[in-house]
């Protein structure tokens, strides 16, 4: 009986985890291919260069970015990954929050608990939906089971409810945190790849300076431009990744806090209403 509320959700969570893994494995190569296509066919279009020659001086920002060299499409693919995974996390976390405000939902549950109306609290969970509501509904179901359990004392029943909340939370939370490691990894990879492009560009610049006679000013400026473009792209990708990662961890922390707060209220309500029984 103690594990009954969590069993129906387990296959769903495994299926969701598998779907998320497939999404990640498909998104990464697709982003790389798209970035390469953008680099070759859009940024490298002859119309962005003087005389229609990609080796000539660029005439706009697209041509200038193309001059960043082969590292540019790699960093662009990282940027696309950040954007795609951020959209995916917004959708998943939005669904986990439910149909309404989490703060309002928590207040309604607490009000129902204070009034001793468990049925009303369970009805609010059905309206809210999402991960927070799933955990709370599981706890409320356990609450009802413990009220009808004649073989345990109050402390044991309270512990059983608390354990049920922890188990339900353990099933829901991993789904919210999936793919965040990819965004966190892109924070470092974006910077390091941009630095690699910078080094490659500076090597070319110093090679131009090392030539005998008067250095080729055009070649020198092209390599310096390559270094700076890669630096800018790498820093931009890392900055966006950091912002998105912090946004999502903040949202997940808020949901976790809502679960902890409401779960504590359920446990305290049960303990206080049954302590003399």
- Reading the chain (277 residues) residue by residue, the pLDDT tens digits are 344 444 444 445 556 667 777 888 999 999 999 999 999 999 999 999 988 888 888 899 999 899 899 999 999 999 999 999 999 999 999 999 999 899 999 999 989 988 888 889 999 999 998 989 999 999 999 998 898 888 888 889 999 999 999 999 988 888 888 889 999 999 999 999 999 999 999 998 888 787 755 667 778 888 888 899 999 999 999 999 999 999 999 999 999 999 999 999 999 888 888 775 5
Please tell me the distance from the alpha carbon of residue 248 to that of residue 51, in angstroms, as a whole number: 47
Retrieve residue 241's tokens: 């990744």
Token pair recorded at residue 217? 């000013």
The residues facing 225 across adjacent strands are none
- The H or E element spanning position 231 is helix 217-274
Q: CB under 8 Å to 104, separation ≥6 — which residues?
A: none
pTM across the whole model: 0.85
Separation between Cα atoms, residue 189 and residue 213, nearest integer Å: 39
């Amino acid at each position: 009986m103690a594990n009954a509320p969590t069993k129906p959700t387990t296959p769903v969570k495994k299926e969701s985890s598998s779907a998320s893994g497939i999404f990640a494995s498909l998104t990464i190569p697709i982003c790389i291919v798209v970035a390469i296509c953008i680099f070759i066919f859009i940024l490298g279009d002859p119309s962005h260069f003087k005389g229609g020659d990609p080796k000539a001086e660029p005439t706009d920002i697209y041509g200038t970015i193309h001059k960043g060299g082969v590292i540019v499409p790699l960093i662009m693919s990282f940027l696309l990954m950040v954007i795609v995974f951020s959209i995916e996390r917004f959708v998943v976390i939005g669904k986990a929050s439910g149909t309404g405000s989490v703060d309002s939902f928590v207040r309604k549950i607490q009000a129902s608990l204070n009034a001793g109306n468990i049925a009303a609290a369970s009805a609010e969970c059905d309206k809210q939906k999402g991960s927070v509501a799933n955990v709370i509904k599981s706890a409320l179901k356990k609450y009802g089971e413990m009220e009808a359990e004649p073989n345990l004392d109050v402390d044991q029943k309270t512990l059983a409810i608390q354990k049920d909340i922890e188990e339900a939370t353990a099933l829901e939370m991993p789904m919210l945190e999936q793919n965040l490691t990819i965004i966190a990894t892109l924070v470092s990879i974006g910077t390091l790849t941009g630095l690699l492009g910078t080094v490659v560009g500076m090597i070319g610049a110093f090679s131009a300076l090392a030539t005998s006679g008067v250095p080729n000013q055009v070649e020198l400026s092209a390599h310096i431009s390559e270094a700076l473009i890669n630096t800018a792209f790498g820093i931009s990708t890392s900055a966006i990744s950091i912002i998105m990662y912090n946004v999502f961890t903040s949202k997940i922390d808020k949901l976790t806090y809502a679960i902890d707060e409401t779960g504590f209220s359920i446990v305290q309500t049960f303990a206080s209403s049954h302590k003399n029984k």
